[in-house]
Chain A
């Protein structure tokens, strides 16, 4: 069964600090992995997408890594801002499958 697990479930950081979110998956055959940011009461918005051959992908202060061998990904937020407070969802797709496997998300709260 395709599964995606994220950790931690939630975290609180001070503005300006860095943090790293983790994602482990068992989706096979692997196609791509996306990190989404979901603000409260809004739909998820894609931050990064990585395929099997990509190890790192950046989008501003967000940097995602992928280790396809260990089936792990991380999302690093640098110099956090209050606007980074949101839920971050790891989503993995299998090859030729229109359905996606979602993690439960990590809720990040940035405090001044």
Chain B
């Protein structure tokens, strides 16, 4: 069966510090991978998606970047965090249109 992992589960970082969130998927090959951000009381906002190694599409201009160094690994990064980067970050995977499976999420607080 397929599983998706995210870490860390929670993170508190000062403004201006770097960020690295990791997502890995097990039990499937060549998945599409997604990073979402969920602000309090808001819907999920798609940040990045990837259809293959090294292929990243950005949905909104922002302070964040994403990379996919391996088939089942997706990393969300920032060189300098802003207060507005606080939120709940979700990674998801899919192998066919219309179906995505979500990870447990990372709660990021920027102080």
| Residues in chain A within 8 A of chain B (CB atoms) | 4, 31-32, 34, 36, 41-46, 49, 89, 93, 95-100, 102-105, 107
Contact = CB atoms under 8 A, between A and B. Distances in A.
Interface stretch (B11-19, B62-70, B72-80, B101-109): B101-109
Interface string B83-104: 0000010100010011111111
B18 to A, nearest CB: 24
Contact of B43 (A31, A42, A46, A105): A105
A44 B43 contact: no
25 contacts: A31-B97, A32-B99, A41-B88, A42-B104, A43-B6, A43-B102, A43-B103, A43-B104, A43-B105, A44-B102, A89-B43, A89-B44, A97-B97, A97-B98, A98-B32, A98-B51, A98-B97, A99-B49, A100-B98, A102-B43, A103-B43, A104-B41, A104-B42, A104-B43, A105-B43
Size range of the interface on B?
20 to 34
A51 B104 CA distance: 26
Contacts of A99: 46, 49
Contacts of B6: 43
A9 to B, nearest CB: 8
Interface of B: 6, 32, 41-44, 46, 49, 51, 88, 90, 94, 97-105, 107
Interface centre among A43, A99, A100 (most CB of B within 10 A): A43
Nearest to B42: A104
A89 B100 CA distance: 13
Contacts of B97: 31, 93, 95-98
A11 to B, nearest CB: 14
CB-CB nearest 8 A-B residue pairs: A93-B98, A43-B102, A104-B43, A102-B43, A102-B44, A31-B98, A32-B98, A43-B105
Contacts of A96: 97
Contacts of A42: 104-105
A34 B97 CA distance: 13
